[in-house]
C-alpha cells in the first residue's frame, strides 16, 4: 500500500475515488463543494432530496463522469460543531471500509482538509493510514473453500489544507502505516486457533521477525532454562499441559546501546482452560485470545521496526497453555516465584499474574527506563470498563498520565484505576507470602496489586486489556488494541 499527501483543489487531483464529507446540517465540506460545482451540483441535489443525510459514518458511492475522478465517496461527518479526533477516526474507518468493498485502486481523502478539534496534519494522516490498514485486514482463514478476495485499493492519499502541512501529513501516514502493520501482526497471532498458535509457534514468529528486521534480535528460552532461572510461578501454570512453555525475548535497538530500554511484558497464555479451576464451556473458545498481551508486544515491536523509532525496546513474552491434568497445579498449592516470594494458588484460573510476575522479575536484568505489562488479565476489568477503555494501574503517577495521554492521542483510550493499600490487604495468606486471588471484589485492581509486589524500584504500569483486545459474538476477532496506544507512547518517549 502506497500512502501520500497532496494539497490543492479537489478538482485538480486525478484519482479513482475522491473521499469527501457532508455535515448533518446539509453543509458541504470544502472539497465537497468544489467537486459539487465541477459535477454540476449533483451532490447538493442528492442532499436536498434527502438521499445524503450527513450522519456520522454513513457513506454513499457515486459513479461520476467528466470530472477529475471516476467515483466520489460521500461520507457523513455528523454535526459541524464538535468534529473531534474520535469522530474523525469513526468517519475514516467507515470510508476505508467502503473503499475496501469498491473496485477503486487509488483514492484521496479530502476530509483531512476540515478542522478537527485537538488534532493536526500529523495525526490526521496517521489515523487515516491506520483506518485503511484496519479496513484492508483479512482474518487468517483455515478452510478448504476459496479464501476471501483482497481489496483492489493500492494507493491512498490525504489532502491538506495548506501546502506546508504536507511533510507532517506524510510523517503521520508513515507512522500510521507502521502501526497498521504492527496491529495486523497482533490480530493475526490472536485470531489463529490455539492448536496453531502455540508457545512454540510464537517462538518461531519471534525469530522470523528478527530475520526480517536487522534492528530486532530474538531469544527463545525453553523449560530447562526457566527451571534454572527458578521461575516456579511461571512453570506452575504450564504443569498441566503437554505443550512446552517458552520465554520469548525480543530486543529492538533503535538508539545507542547505553540508552535504557522500555520493557514491554505481554501475557502469552495461548489457551486458558482455567486449569483445575475449569472455566464454563460457553465462550471457552475465546480463550485463544488470552495471549493478546503477547501479540501486542509483537505488534508494537514490529511497528517500531517499520517506523525506525530511535529508542530501545525489550519485549518479554512468557508463553504457555493453562490445562488440567494429573500434574496440574491445584488450588491450595504453594509455588516459589523467581523473586523468591511464595504464592498460595487459590484459583488456577488466575494464571496470568503467575506468569507475568516471573517475567517482571526477569525484566530487571535489562535495567529498564520503564516497564509496561499488557494482559487480558481479568473478567472484572470487562465488568468495570466494558469493551471501550483499557485499564491502567501504576506505581508512578507520571507514567500513568503518559499512558492515558497516549491513549487519547491514538484514540485507543485507557483509564487509570487505583491501587490503594487497602486492596493489597486482600491478598494476605495464612500459608505463603500472599495469595494469587482474593475473590470478585475489585478483581482488576487486586490483580494489579499482586503484580506490584514484583516491581519495587521499577517505574511500572499494568494495562488490563481484557475488554478491548477482542470482540465477541458475530464479529468475533482481535481488535489489534492496544498497539496504537503502545506505539504512540513509544513515539513520544524519544
> Where in the sequence numbering do the catalytic residues fall?
279, 353
Q: 414 in helix, strand or coil?
A: strand
State the DSSP H helix or E strand holding residue 63, giving kind and residue range, or none if neither.
strand 59-63
Cα separation of 113 and 30, whole Å?
8
Among 200, 194, 272, 202, which Cα is nearest to 237's?
Answer: 272
Cα separation of 331 and 345, whole Å?
5
Reading across the β-sheet that carries 434-435, which strands appear in turn? Answer: 334-336, 342-344, 434-435
- Angle subtended at Cα 115 by Cα 130 and Cα 488, rounded to the nearest 5 degrees: 35
Q: Which residues contact 258 (CB under 8 A, 6 or more apart)?
A: none
Cα separation of 358 and 492, whole Å?
28
Q: What is the Rg, in whole angstroms, of the alpha carbon atoms belonging to the chain?
A: 24
| Residues linked to residue 250 through DSSP beta bridges, in sequence order | 218, 315
Whether the Cβ atoms of residue 462 and residue 393 lie closer than 8 Å to each other: yes
Q: Which residues contact 488 (CB under 8 A, 6 or more apart)?
A: 406, 407, 409, 410, 412
Q: Helix crossing, 42-49 with 30-38: angle to 10°?
A: 110
State the DSSP H helix or E strand holding residue 419, giving kind and residue range, or none if neither.
none
Cα separation of 280 and 278, whole Å?
7
Residue whose entry in the numeric block shows the C-alpha cell 458475530: 474
Neighbour count for residue 242 (Cβ, 10 Å): 9
Cα separation of 376 and 464, whole Å?
6
Q: Which residues contact 119 (CB under 8 A, 6 or more apart)?
A: 84, 85, 88, 127
State the DSSP H helix or E strand holding residue 320, giving kind and residue range, or none if neither.
strand 312-322
Q: Which residues contact 83 (CB under 8 A, 6 or more apart)?
A: 77, 114, 115, 116, 117
Whether the Cβ atoms of residue 273 and residue 463 lie closer than 8 Å to each other: no
Among 197, 203, 186, which Cα is nearest to 246's?
Answer: 203
Among 484, 470, 142, 140, which Cα is nearest to 289's?
Answer: 470
Amino acid at each position: 500500500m502506497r500512502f501520500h499527501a497532496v494539497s490543492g483543489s479537489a478538482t485538480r487531483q486525478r484519482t479513482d475515488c475522491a473521499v469527501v464529507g457532508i455535515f448533518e446540517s446539509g453543509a458541504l465540506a470544502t472539497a465537497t463543494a468544489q467537486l459539487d460545482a465541477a459535477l454540476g451540483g449533483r451532490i447538493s441535489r442528492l442532499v436536498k432530496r434527502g438521499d445524503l443525510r450527513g450522519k456520522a459514518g454513513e457513506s454513499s458511492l457515486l459513479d461520476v463522469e467528466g470530472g477529475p475522478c471516476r467515483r466520489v465517496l460521500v461520507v457523513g461527518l455528523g454535526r459541524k460543531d464538535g468534529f473531534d479526533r474520535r469522530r474523525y477516526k469513526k468517519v475514516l474507518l467507515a470510508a476505508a471500509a467502503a473503499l475496501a468493498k469498491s473496485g477503486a485502486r487509488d483514492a484521496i481523502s479530502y476530509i483531512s482538509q476540515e478542522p478537527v478539534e485537538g488534532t493536526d496534519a500529523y495525526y490526521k494522516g496517521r489515523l487515516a493510514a491506520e483506518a485503511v490498514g484496519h479496513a484492508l485486514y483479512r482474518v487468517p482463514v483455515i478452510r478448504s473453500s476459496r479464501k476471501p478476495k483482497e481489496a483492489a485499493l493500492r494507493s491512498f492519499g490525504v489532502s491538506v489544507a495548506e501546502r506546508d502541512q504536507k511533510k507532517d501529513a506524510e510523517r503521520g501516514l508513515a507512522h500510521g502505516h507502521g502501526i497498521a502493520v504492527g496491529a495486523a501482526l497482533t490480530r493475526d497471532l490472536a485470531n489463529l486457533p490455539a492448536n496453531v498458535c502455540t508457545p512454540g509457534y510464537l517462538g518461531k514468529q519471534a525469530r522470523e521477525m528478527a530475520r526480517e528486521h536487522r534492528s530486532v534480535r530474538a531469544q527463545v528460552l525453553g523449560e530447562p532454562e526457566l527451571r534454572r532461572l527458578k521461575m516456579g510461578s511461571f512453570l506452575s501454570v504450564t504443569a498441566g499441559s503437554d505443550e512446552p512453555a517458552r520465554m520469548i525475548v525480543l530486543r529492538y535497538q533503535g538508539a545507542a546501546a547505553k540508552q535504557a530500554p522500555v520493557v514491554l511484558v505481554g501475557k502469552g497464555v495461548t489457551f486458558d482452560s482455567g486449569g483445575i479451576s475449569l472455566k464454563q464451556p460457553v465462550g471457552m473458545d475465546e480463550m485463544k485470545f488470552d495471549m493478546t498481551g503477547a501479540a501486542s508486544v509483537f505488534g508494537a515491536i514490529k511497528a517500531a521496526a517499520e517506523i525506525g523509532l530511535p529508542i530501545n525496546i525489550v519485549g518479554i513474552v512468557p508463553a504457555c497453555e493453562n490445562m488440567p491434568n494429573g500434574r496440574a497445579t491445584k488450588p491450595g498449592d504453594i509455588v516459589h516465584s523467581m523473586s523468591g516470594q511464595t504464592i498460595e494458588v487459590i484459583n488456577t484460573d488466575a494464571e496470568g499474574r503467575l506468569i507475568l510476575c516471573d517475567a517482571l522479575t526477569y525484566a530487571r536484568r535489562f535495567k529498564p527506563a520503564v516497564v509496561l505489562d499488557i494482559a487480558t488479565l481479568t473478567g472484572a476489568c470487562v465488568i468495570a470498563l466494558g469493551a471501550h477503555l483499557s485499564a491502567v494501574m501504576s506505581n508512578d503517577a507520571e507514567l500513568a498520565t503518559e499512558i492515558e495521554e497516549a491513549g487519547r492521542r491514538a484514540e485507543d483510550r485507557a483509564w487509570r484505576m487505583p491501587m490503594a493499600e487497602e486492596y493489597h490487604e486482600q491478598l494476605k495468606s495464612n500459608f505463603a507470602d500472599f495469595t494469587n486471588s482474593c475473590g470478585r471484589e475489585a478483581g482488576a485492581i487486586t490483580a494489579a496489586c499482586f503484580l506490584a509486589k514484583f516491581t519495587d524500584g521499577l517505574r511500572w504500569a499494568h494495562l488490563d486489556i481484557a475488554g478491548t483486545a477482542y470482540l465477541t459474538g458475530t464479529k468475533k476477532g482481535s481488535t489489534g488494541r492496544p498497539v496504537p496506544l503502545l506505539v504512540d507512547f513509544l513515539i513520544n518517549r524519544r
